[in-house]
Chain A
Amino acid sequence: MKRRSLVVLVSALLVLVLTTQLHAQKIKVIVDQDARGPATTDMQSLLIFLQSDKFEVLGITTVSGDQWMKEETQRTLRLLEIAGRTDVPVAEGALFPLLNSKEESEHWENMYGKLGYKGCWSDFSKRTQVSEAYRAGYHDPEVVPHLVEGEPHIKPIVASAAEFIVRMVHQYPGEVVIWAGGPMTNIALALRIDPQVATLAKELVLMGSGMYADKGGINSVDGRREFNWWFDPEAVRISMRAPWKKITITPIDISVKTNVGRALHDAIANADTPVARYLTQFSEPGFMWDELSAAALIDPSMITEQKELYVDIDIEHGPSYGETLFWGPDVSLPSYERKATVQFDVDTKKLYDLYIKLMTQAPRKR
């Protein structure tokens, strides 16, 4: 064989090996999200997973929280069409949390004051200075309002979210990152269907809980009453006491150090892609709650401070229902209490640069 052909052949082989290695290094992730839309932190975090070539998104599972699950599912399906990622399956999850309810939250408010944010149990119709999508009134769980971003044509899969999670961790033992951006209801149901979910998954990564923050909680000054965890405390209790190999938590504390502001908005508005147009049209300023958790999976170095803490939740149906409980790593506790890596500070420049890069690029095929 001629020397030149040999070099070409070896190079081709090397490229083949490298690309399969790259492919093999993709993080397999199930994205569980209370996907309120259009835009919002929920959708923007989905876009991070969809746009980045670091992930193999096995599926998106929806759960009631910021909005009711049925509406969220339709908005997620529409997002996939806009982002050119209709290859990603969407599985419908829990419509209601395990035990908490709108009625119970209203009884609580009678005693302990109005909560500033209650997700799908809220009525935002009196808000001013926000776009139509953020001024939704309360609607019943089964209702899906007209989608300003367009009605989807694709459908969710038949399997429920919990079934899908169970199936995936068995199909890819030790590989699947379960990422939870909303209440933990689907995760808890999956664990009760099959407790092996915790040991077969690679890691649980979640946005939720709050420790020392004095803003961002759902009644302003109490950072330990964080929305995702408060919406379904029993689901958090089930999830946080399962024997995961690793738990990573993005709490309120770090989220409120970020901001989707005007500068970010303008940088994205310059790009002319379906995703950038979607964001430019519908995105509102706010904290980067869920985007931060997703971005940190791509570049962990953006997290500049994190601590190992034991983390649990109060599920007594009294004044502190849904509040985060946490202890230092050296406290002696029963074995069912879990240690988590809790993120506390972020290099916002790294975060915003990555965010702009991902949101302005052309959509990727899997």
Chain B
Amino acid sequence: MSLRLVGPVTRRQFVTSSTAAVVGAGFAGTIAAAQASKASLSGGSMRVIIDTDPGVDDAFALLLAMRSPELKIEAITPVAGNVPLELTLPNALRMVEIAGRTDIPVAAGARTPLVRRLVTAAYAHGENGLGGALFPVPKTKPVSQPAAELIRQIIRKYPGEVTLITLGPLTNLATALGSDSELAGMVKGVVMMGGSLSGGNITPAAEFNIYVDPEAARMVFQSGIPITMVGLDVTRKTALTDDHVRILSAGKSAVSQAAATIARNAIDHNRGQGFLIGPNMHDSLALTAFLDPSILRFDDYYVDVETNGELTAGQTLGYSPNQGDLRRSPEMQKQAESSMVIRGSAPTLAGTRISPVLRDKYVPNTKVALDLDAARFFNLLIGRLSS
């Protein structure tokens, strides 16, 4: 019988089929390289949607984004995470008002993760999500469209142009992807604050965003969209200090003052909890990976997400031919790459698997940030916020 293709084969198929190796080479195609050429201020040409759960570091990242003229922020989509949606939504609206950017549509996102109960991080972000810093009730309203719908609409309007900057659990993106099988092929890329290849924060295994909704995270990592992962491997090194607060307080703008207020409250909150250093600026660093990737060093990995673990759900596993105890000669390195298999846990006698091999080919799907120039990062962050 004659067959006809209705549309392009989804990226998900590419990742699951063994022909993926051929196509995969094009994917690890580098958001980083593409942006390096656009890193200079080019007048609002880089379309982004910012998915966020403000959250102290989310709030900073939002302010930084709205102070970055090279970005064209198509939408801000709050999600439940650090604190419930009832707080992340108005917090996002507050930031938009402070920055004088009420032209940006804010759309309410998911209240709960896909299949898990919501676990929040008020212990880190304060009960109101902003370290206890108080701002007026926002006058701006969110748009009537739910976040997943707006994400879908914008990506379809600008296929191949929109980068999703995800700063919270991935529930909104996973919902949008699940509802529209062609969407993944239209997303330019995802730059995510999340995960870690070197241990977690909320548990020893998992970083908070992936911990909250591991199933959503897996859907995103398996979607075929090129991903830049900025996780705890680098964000651990971005602690806010009193010096930063001082510079922000001296800044004249509403943004600078607001950032100073949040920073002061967050640092005090941290001290109150007994920590020796201020909160880390996780989300701002993720945004920076998009604004100026030269500030970080990346390496290619095939990343997947543990969803089964009793203790480890939410852990991001990074597979690479470079891992392991022994080093290879350069000539053998290429060969290792092409013959590497992706292994999961040893099968149990009662389980449904009989082999630990999950995939027969190594196809990198993620650029993972492994190192950063912290001084340059804070120059950019504090510089833009206080100017």
Do A94 and B179 touch across chains, with their CB atoms under 8 A apart? yes
Taking a contact as CB atoms under 8 Å apart, the answer to whether A110 and B351 are in contact is no
**Interface band, chain A:** 35 or more
A234 touches B215 (CB 8 A): yes
Q: How far is the CA of A361 from the CA of B171 in the complex (A)?
A: 47
Closest Cβ–Cβ distance, residue A318 to chain B (whole Å) = 7
Residue of B nearest to A97 (CB): B178
In the complex, which of the residues A74, A98, A166, A319 contacts B114, with contact meaning CB atoms closer than 8 Å? A98
A142 with B9: in contact, given A94-B181, A237-B115 (CB under 8 Å)?
yes
User: A111 to B349, alpha carbons, bound, how many Å?
Assistant: 10
In the assembled complex, which residues on chain B have CB atoms less than 8 Å from the CB atom of A96? 12, 178, 181
Q: Are B178 and A189 in contact (CB under 8 A)?
A: yes
- Contact across chains for A144 and B4 when beta carbons are under 8 A apart: yes
- Which residues A285-337 have CB closer than 8 A to chain B? 315, 317-319
Whether A166 contacts B146 in the complex (CB less than 8 A), given A145-B3, A234-B114, comes out as: yes
Binary CB contact string for chain B from 104 to 148 against chain A (1 if under 8 A, 0 otherwise): 000000111011000000000000000000000000000000111
Q: Contact: A319 with B115, CB < 8 Å?
A: no
Name A64's closest neighbour in chain B (CB-CB). B181
Min CB–CB distance A219 → chain B (angstroms): 14
Q: A185–B175 contact, CB under 8 A?
A: no
Main secondary structure of the interface of B (DSSP, over half): loop
Asked whether A142 lies within 8 Å of B13 as measured between CB atoms, the reply is yes
For residue B332, CB closer than 8 A to chain A, the reply is no
The answer for the CA separation of A146 and B352 in the assembled complex, in Å, is: 36
A234 CB contacts on chain B under 8 angstroms: 114-115, 215
How many angstroms between the C-alpha atoms of A143 and B2 in the bound complex? Answer: 10
Q: In the complex, A313 Cα to B131 Cα: how many Å?
A: 40
Contacting residues of chain A (128-166) with chain B, CB-CB under 8 angstroms: 139-146, 160-163, 166
Residues of A contacting B308 in the complex (Cβ-Cβ under 8 angstroms): 317
**Contact indicator B171/A192 (Cβ below 8 Å):** yes
A53-93 at interface with B (beta carbon < 8 Å): 69-70, 74, 92-93
Assess the A193–B111 pair: CB atoms within 8 A. no
Contact B352 A317 (CB under 8 A): yes
Find B16's partner among A70, A103, A146, A194 (CB 8 Å cutoff).
A103
* A residues in contact with B179, CB < 8 Å: 93-94, 160-163, 186, 189, 193
* Known A139-B3, A143-B5; contact A98-B352, beta-carbon cutoff 8 A: no
How far, in Å, is B132 (CB) from chain A's closest CB?
29
Shortest Cβ gap from B188 to chain A (Å)? 20
CB B152 to nearest CB in A, in angstroms, measures 7
- Interface 1/0 per residue, A165-201 and B, CB below 8 Å: 0100000000000000000011001001111000000
Query: Is A99 positioned at the interface, with any CB of B under 8 Å from its CB?
Result: yes
Which residue from chain A places its CB closest to the CB of B218 in the assembled complex?
A: A99
A150, chain B: closest CB distance, angstroms: 14
Q: Give min CB distance, B309 to chain A, whole Å.
A: 12
For A103, the chain B residues whose CB sits under 8 A away are: 16
Instruction: Write the chain B residue with the least CB distance to A167.
Output: B149
B331 at the interface (CB under 8 A from A): no
Set B2, B3, B115: member contacting A315, Cβ < 8 A:
B115
Within the complex, the shortest CB–CB distance from A140 to chain B, in Å, comes to 7
**Chain A: minimal CB distance from B263 (Å):** 34
Which residues in window 338-378 of B have CB below 8 A to A? 350-354
Beyond the given pairs A145-B3, A193-B110, A318-B351, 16 more chain A to chain B contacts, judged by CB atoms under 8 angstroms and listed by A's residue number, are: A70-B7, A96-B178, A96-B181, A98-B114, A104-B352, A107-B354, A110-B353, A144-B4, A145-B1, A146-B4, A160-B149, A163-B152, A163-B179, A189-B175, A192-B171, A237-B115
4 smallest CB-CB distances across A and B, nearest first, come from A95-B181, A162-B179, A160-B179, A107-B352
